[in-house]
Structure 1
């Protein structure tokens, strides 16, 4: 099982892959270049914004919810127009959005962080029924936001801690109790980044600096890892007609100048076929 290049555009910080189940199309971001990227039968697609953008959920066939440094937006793929849904730490120029994902109730969880990864500058929010609610504060680099198939819990990480947390959810999708450690990767020197949960409940998580995506069972046991050509594997997403293709974004941020500017695959987006069966992302209900 090996990764192939799905898209050879080299992102500074590739993130937020989303497979749109109705369009049968992958979307992802180059955060530092303020770009939403995709591909269709005609070839590469790109939309540019005036600030960092990092994560999305799908609303309908032609509409995405997009998280930017200052707001959540309703974005029309047909003409590129956008409408603000709510502000996101608009009074704090230090922060920007980072990892985010739709939850099974039609909400959207989104993390914020310092533009220079300032310690404890970020938080995790839930946008639900038209309102933004703060869930967790004092987070440095929010990542790995994803949800168990049975709706029992959510996962997230502050990458700087090297720990992935799990928090129980109530019947409406709100945290029910304090988060507990699900994975402690500090002894292995691994940095958890974006994550997604497969149909069987396995957590697949990109590991920054390790050139791989690793799979962990619901009890936290390590199962296996899939190597990718990009050193900084940032976030996985399941897609394809049968949801058996694992797409993985990557970054060249933080690499030495000679590596970051050569023609190496760092920053490209990869596809690994036949890994396991994933699930379609839930619709965001506005």
Structure 2
């Protein structure tokens, strides 16, 4: 009787599954890109001009929008527009009075208050740093020098984020919808269409349309406006397609060492040799930090 040959199937070669890399940078990657960003010397003057003539001068308007969103208040319509552009910003050197350290006349052997004494009094009325140093009225969520903005993300939408969206979508024009740059004389036509929903027809004010755009994106629900979150949302306005091409998006990094060339010249058409002539939003923020105009929390 013949023995049957044992047929041993050769082991199939093992193949490692390729892990598909996300097209969205990680928070750490955003922080590293920003921290290592160097603005090209020949572009610094142009960036400063935009900051001085378009961004900081309109800070009160951006802050008013942030406050309207935070308070859940409707912006005035074009028919009954009121001046809501009063800034909550107080110049840094005007925030504290210069009252000398006070003496307590009723205490025996009275001595001037020490800095340690002052810092341990949350609701002090006199002293080196002035009245109610820890009062939240002095340190607003949009205040670049506040504890909230220096050491952690605040709940209020940073005015400089609204400014960057205004730049990217409207080229700083206050006659356009913050949603997509369509004119305020009518509803939006591009995506998102038929906005804003404010209870009346056109024309619209920039403020009421901006509040609608922010709420539509659910930015009013955000509680931590960290640097990675801000950069991700700004990049998301124009999509993450550049990362798939292996380059950093010019919408954030143009005019800096983080971008050289490559641009979508129209929808779906990428030109590897084209160079963006528009400064990146992250470059504006970087220059503002370099000039100590803002301080963005990293986490």
TM-score (norm 1): 0.28
Greater fraction of residues in helix: 2
TM-score (norm 2): 0.27
Structure number with the bigger relative contact order (C-alpha 8 A, sep ≥ 6) is: 2
